[in-house]
Amino acid sequence: MTEIYETQPERTDLPLVVMPAVLDAMVEPIKAQFPALENIARVRMFEEFTSDETVIAERTQGGDALLVGGYHISDDLLRTLGEQHIRCIVFCGTGVASYINLDLARELNIRICNAEHYGDNSVAEHTFALMLELARCAGSLDTNVKAGGWAWKGGDGLQLAGRKLGIIGLGGIGVTVATIARAFGMKVSAWSSHVPAEHFERSGATPVADLNELIADSDIVSVHLPLSSATAGIITADHLEHLKPGTLFINTARSEVIEKGALLARLQRGDIHAALDVFDHEPLTAEDPICHVPGIVLTPHVGWRTDGAFKELTRQMIACLVAFYHGEHYNTVIAER
């Protein structure tokens, strides 16, 4: 039987916040934030993860705000939530456009909130974990040694110091990646639109106005664009043609910022290496063609998942609710009318 955690259950005069599904790693961090809702709203959290929309709809009945983490909300479920008088949905992440139809939420007059910059360090660190795996193959070497091997036939490692890193998107994560890269002794350039000049100054990255030029001149390309209507598909097949043989390509942002099918087609030519944490369809299956690209490194969209990120993420999620019930705004993506 699913355990249900409730705060202030006797305060039926207060509005109800429902968290119908929760990732195991979020349970304790978000419980630590619930006191901020004392005398503002009560919470009902189901301590089990599910993406079953029928179950989610059943569990949200009676609530007027929803905490969401780790699953998509289809248009049908969103309409059901609107019929149940859910007025605010708070996501445990930044790129909510990947998880919900924002235009429909606006039409249904539901406030949508997210969390910002909670995972800048976590995702940047994971980017370097992937980069180092491509460069030094520590995971494969570990497997080889444990199997009794010693001589490594996979080729020598790549030294990062002195190599050119091209960053696509210089927001909070991109700036953090650039800072780490400079500590490694790398030469850092970046292409990014609509970010303050201060981002380039703070990161030490050299601005490059043309994306093709950035890609062609880089030994390593790392993607850090947020997903929006403006960035969807912004990296095209033509851009990827400018990757020179031997380039390392890393994406810990969103797969949708790359033209659909373009990256797989480029990787299947076998002259570049890639490490990816995000995909067109999640979770991947073993039959997915991306899993069969030689030398590729794949992780299951975990770049953001660290203890520090969960702490800041859950703080922001509850801050969104406090602002909502006070008639204020905090990390509002879609405002109700």
Pair 7, 34: CB distance under 8 Å? yes
Pair 26, 71: CB distance under 8 Å? no
The one-character DSSP state at 193 is S
Torsion over CA of 153, 155, 156 and 158, rounded to 10 degrees? -140
Pair 267, 247: CB distance under 8 Å? no
- Report the alpha-carbon distance of residue 310 to residue 30 in Å, rounded: 8
Pair 55, 104: CB distance under 8 Å? no
The pair of structure tokens assigned to 53 is 């929309």
Length, in residues, of the chain: 337
Active site annotation includes 254:
yes
Catalytic residue among 6, 38, 282, 328: 282
Buried b (16+ CB within 10 A) or exposed e, 19-47: bbbbeeebbebbbebbeebeebbbbbbbe
Pair 47, 27: CB distance under 8 Å? yes
Active site annotation includes 125:
no
Long-range contacts of 260-268 (CB under 8 A, 24+ apart): 260/233, 262/235, 262/236, 262/237, 264/289, 264/290, 264/293, 265/237, 266/237, 266/240, 266/241, 267/293, 267/296, 268/293
The arrangement of strands across the sheet holding 88-91 comes to 4-7, 42-46, 16-19, 65-68, 88-91, 111-113, 332-334
- Report the alpha-carbon distance of residue 182 to residue 163 in Å, rounded: 10
The pair of structure tokens assigned to 251 is 């994406």
In 49-97, which ranges are E strands? 65-68, 88-91
Peptide bond into 294 cis (omega under 30): no
Catalytic residue among 254, 266, 273, 312: 254
User: Which residues are identified as catalytic?
Assistant: 254, 282, 301
